[in-house]
Amino acid sequence: MEYFYTIKPIMKKVNKKEFAKFIENYPRKLEYDCCGISAPPSISYNDFELANRWPYSIIANTWAYSDNPDDYYYEENPEYYIMENYKEVFDSKTGNKAKDGE
């Protein structure tokens, strides 16, 4: 973390509506990533201006839940997280970049 920014990110649990609003109103371009090595797959939204390396670029995350109770990935209480202090974290950027292979 300290390589990319000096403020520790605070991830806040929110509901689905708050999550969608945060993504929609985020001030910079976000990159969507769906990683299928877990069940359900992990979904993250990344700000590569904040850090050019995952997972340090994650500003919001959830999992690929289903709304259908009969589906394999159905979850009655899905979890959604946003970086509550993204402005402070961005303002603490060090300017360092990860190089290929690091």
**Residues 45-65: pLDDT tens digits?**
999 999 999 999 999 999 999
Distance CA 2, CA 11 (A): 17
Does pLDDT of 98 surpass 80?
A: yes
User: Does 81 score more than 80 pLDDT?
Assistant: yes
Predicted TM-score (pTM) of the model is 0.90
Average pLDDT, the chain: 93
Higher pLDDT, 58 or 73: 58
d(CA 27, CA 12): 18
* 96 pLDDT more than 70: yes
